[in-house]
Amino acid sequence: MLAPYLPLTRPTIDEATIAGVGEVLRSGWITSGPKVKELEAALSLRCAGRPVRVFNSGTCTMEIALRIAGVGPGHEVITTPLSWVATSHVILEVGARPVFVDIDPVTRNIDLDRIEAAITPATRAIIPVDLAGLPVDRDRLYAIAQRRGLRVIEDAAQSLGSRWRGREIGEGGDFVSFSFHPNKNITTIEGGALVLNDEREARLAEQYRLQGVVRTGFDGMEVDLVGGKFNLTDVAARVGLGQLPRLDEFNLRRRELVRGYFERCATPAVRALGLQLPIADFTETNWHMFQVVLPAERLTITRAEVMAKLHAAGIGSGVHYPAIHLFGVYRRLGWKEGDLPVAEGIARRILTLPLFPLMTDADVGRVVEQLAGILHAHQKS
C-alpha cells in the first residue's frame, strides 16, 4: 500500500476551535468585534504587555508600521533579498525604495556586516527577516539602528515563539510583525499582528486598519489620514484563540521532528551527498521551516526535477525563496544578477522539506530516504 501524500505543511485545527467558530457564526457578530479584542489581549500577554493589534494579513502590518514611522517617497529602507516578496513590496507601497543587502551564508539572514555600507542620507528604516524562524542577531541589529537613527520593522512572520537570548520575539524591539497564514506555526486562516511601542502608535494602527476612521460617541466620525481595509474578522480571531495556547506545544513538536531530520542527515551515506543543512539551533528557533541547500554542482538534475521526483514519491516540497531583487519589478529599479551573489546562489539551490506538528517520526525518515535516493541516483560521474 502506498503511503498517503505528505504535504509541505498542514495546519492543526482542533475540534474545540471548529466548534468555537460555529459559536461565533451563530452569534451574529462575525466581523471585527469581541474576539479580535480577546486575541489582541492574549498576544499582548506573550509580548510583555506591549500593545498588539491584529490585521487581515502579515503584509499590511509592515506597511502600516512604515507609515507610522513616517517612511514615504524619497526614503530608502534596507532589507534582505531572501524572503517572500511582501517584505519589499510594502516598501514600494509607501513610495520608498528598497535597498537589498546580501545575506549571511550560514544563517541565511541579512548580513549585518554589510548594512552600514548600504545606509545613505535617505535611509529611514531596516526590515530584517527571521528566515525559517531563526532570529537575526537583535543586539547587533539594534546597535546599528540606534547609532544611525533608524526605525526597525521586524519581519517576524516566521518567528512567533522564537527567542533571542532567552527573550521571546515581540517582547522587545521596535515594530514587530507576525503572520498567521496557514503555513505558519499558528494560523487565523489569514491574518497577522503588529506589536507596537505605545498607545499612540496603537491608535494610529487602528486608524490605518480601517479607512482612517476615528469614532466618538454615537455619531461622531473623523478621517484625517488615508487608511485601508485591513481588519481581522471575529471568525478568524476565534481560530487564533484556539491556536495561540498551543503554540509552545506545536513548536516543541517541530523541534522534535527537526532533531529527526538532523539525525537522519548525519549518517555517512547522506553526509556524502553534500547537502547543506541549517544551523542546528534548538533553544532560540521555532523551526518554522526545515530547509536544505542542494549540491547543484554535483547533480545531473535541476532542483525542479528533484521536487518533481519527490512529488511522484508522495512528498511535497517548496522553495523559500527566489531572490526578490531578480524579479521583474525590482530589475526595473536597477537590480541585476550578480549584485547579491550569496543570496542568489542559495536562492537557486534552497529546498524546503515537510515540517508540521501532525507529521510522524516515520514521515521524517521517509523524506530523507527519498531525497537521498534521488540525489544519489543523479550524481555527476
Contact 135, 89 (CB under 8 A): no
Q: Can you give the pLDDT at residue 56? A: 98
Containing structural domain, residue 356: 247-377
Write down which residue in 189, 215, 245 finishes a domain.
Answer: 245
Report if residue 49 sits inside a domain.
yes
Contact 315, 370 (CB under 8 A): yes
Report if residue 343 sits inside a domain.
yes
Of the candidates 37, 184, 309, 336, the residue annotated as catalytic is 184
Report if residue 6 sits inside a domain.
no
Domains in the chain: how many in total?
Answer: 2
Q: Are 256 and 241 part of one and the same domain?
A: no
Q: Are 42 and 125 part of one and the same domain?
A: yes
What number is the average pLDDT over the span 80-92? 98
Report if residue 170 sits inside a domain.
yes
Chain mean pLDDT for the chain: 97
Report if residue 4 sits inside a domain.
no
Write down how long the chain is.
381
What number is the average pLDDT over the span 123-152? 98
Write down which residue in 197, 218, 245 finishes a domain.
Answer: 245
The answer to whether 184 is a known catalytic residue is: yes
Report if residue 5 sits inside a domain.
no
Integer Cα distance of 216 and 228 in angstroms: 20
pLDDT score of 228 more than 90: yes
Report if residue 342 sits inside a domain.
yes
Alpha helices in the chain (DSSP H): 15-27, 34-46, 60-68, 86-93, 115-118, 138-148, 199-209, 234-243, 247-265, 268-271, 303-312, 328-331, 341-349, 361-377
Q: What is the pTM (predicted TM-score) of this model?
A: 0.96
What number is the average pLDDT over the span 370-377? 98
Integer Cα distance of 193 and 200 in angstroms: 17
The CATH code of the domain that includes 45 is 3.40.640.10
Q: Can you give the pLDDT at residue 1? A: 61
Q: Are 213 and 112 part of one and the same domain?
A: yes
The interaxial angle of helices 234-243 and 34-46, nearest 10 deg, is 30
**Alpha-carbon Rg for the chain in angstroms:** 21
Evaluate the CA torsion angle 3, 4, 5, 10 in order and state its sign.
Answer: negative
pLDDT tens digits, residue range 194-226? 999 999 999 999 999 999 999 999 999 999 999
Q: Are 232 and 269 part of one and the same domain?
A: no
Report if residue 35 sits inside a domain.
yes
Q: Are 241 and 251 part of one and the same domain?
A: no
Which residue has cell 518533481?
Answer: 308
Integer Cα distance of 333 and 351 in angstroms: 28
What number is the average pLDDT over the span 253-261? 98
String of DSSP letters for 33-59: SHHHHHHHHHHHHHTTT--EEEES-TT
Q: Are 204 and 71 part of one and the same domain?
A: yes
Which set of grid coordinates corresponds to residue 324? Answer: 526578490
